[in-house]
Amino acid sequence: MNIYSVINIDIVNSRKIANRDVFQNQFKSYLANLSYEYASFLVAPITLTLGDEWQIVIKDIRESYNIYLKIRQYLKSFNINCYCGIGIGTMSTREAVDTREMDGQVFIFARESLSIAKANKNSYSKIISTKDCKVYLQGISSKFKRNTSLDLDHIINNIIQNNETSMHRITEKQQQTIDLYVRLGTYSAILNEVPTLSKGMVSDRLRTSNFWLIESNKELIYNLLESYVHCFMEEQDGI
């Protein structure tokens, strides 16, 4: 038996998007390219399941948060937000080329997680600790032995919420500098392309935006999801 990740993405206030048809076509094209980029990690191409809700089925669960962040970043370039529910678990069906032909606990977890993420807009939500977070993860870690799991779902969600809060507070200028650094990779390359910037300005914007903390948290989430796989395999082996 294998462990999978299912990501359900729902666009916030999708019916209020200006030139909605144009945006939808652009977004479909982007997701098709993303499906190609992550083909080795995906069970099936990213699928539109309902309205503006998209579903991603992943066989390498470590990439779950990274794939969500790619989509989040693309949508933010249009000033659009999204809700995200991540489920981790097993399937009751075989793998298929259409996500709608698959079922199992992992899909249930993803649907429940999306509902929790969407409910966070209500002031009485107590599951997610910050109003700035629109993503939630739920999986089978409660079934793991306590001495090995350390409540992985809770730990991962806390780190995700920390990251989402930090990213929510990034200013436009900080984001522009982050984009430059991600694309070019070094301070000197940034200064060559944008002479009006200084090394001190770049360094200050990266630090005050919590860029390094966000990157560290992304790596930590990746590693914790890898621990998820190890715990699952140990349970399967009866260790």
- pLDDT (0 to 100) of residue 150: 59
Task: Assess if residue 140 is contained within a domain.
Answer: yes
Task: Assess if residue 232 is contained within a domain.
Answer: no
- Give CA–CA dist 61/6, Å, rounded: 9
64-111: pLDDT as tens digits: 999 999 999 999 999 999 999 999 999 999 999 988 899 999 999 999
Query: What backbone phi and psi angles, to 5 degrees, belong to 121?
Result: -70, -15
Task: Assess if residue 94 is contained within a domain.
Answer: yes
What does DSSP say about strands 135-139 and 82-89: parallel, antiparallel, or unpaired? Answer: parallel
Given a cut of 80, whether residue 50 has pLDDT beyond it is no
Q: What is the mean pLDDT of the chain?
A: 90
Following DSSP, what letter does each residue of 100-117 receive, concatenated?
A: GG--SHHHHHHHHHHHHH
103-161: pLDDT as tens digits: 999 999 999 999 999 988 766 667 888 888 999 999 987 666 554 545 889 999 999 99
- pLDDT (0 to 100) of residue 149: 46
- pLDDT (0 to 100) of residue 1: 81
Stated as kind and residue range, the H or E segment containing 203 is helix 199-208
- CATH of residue 117's domain is 3.30.70.270
How many domains does the chain divide into?
A: 1
Task: Assess if residue 198 is contained within a domain.
Answer: no
Within 13 Å and on the Cβ side, how many CA atoms surround 172? 3
Task: Assess if residue 212 is contained within a domain.
Answer: no
Task: Assess if residue 106 is contained within a domain.
Answer: yes
Task: Assess if residue 167 is contained within a domain.
Answer: no
Task: Assess if residue 59 is contained within a domain.
Answer: yes
- Around Cβ 154, how many Cβ atoms within 10 Å? 13
Domain region containing 136: 4-145
- Give CA–CA dist 114/6, Å, rounded: 11
- Give CA–CA dist 204/168, Å, rounded: 18
Which one-letter DSSP state was computed for residue 150?
S
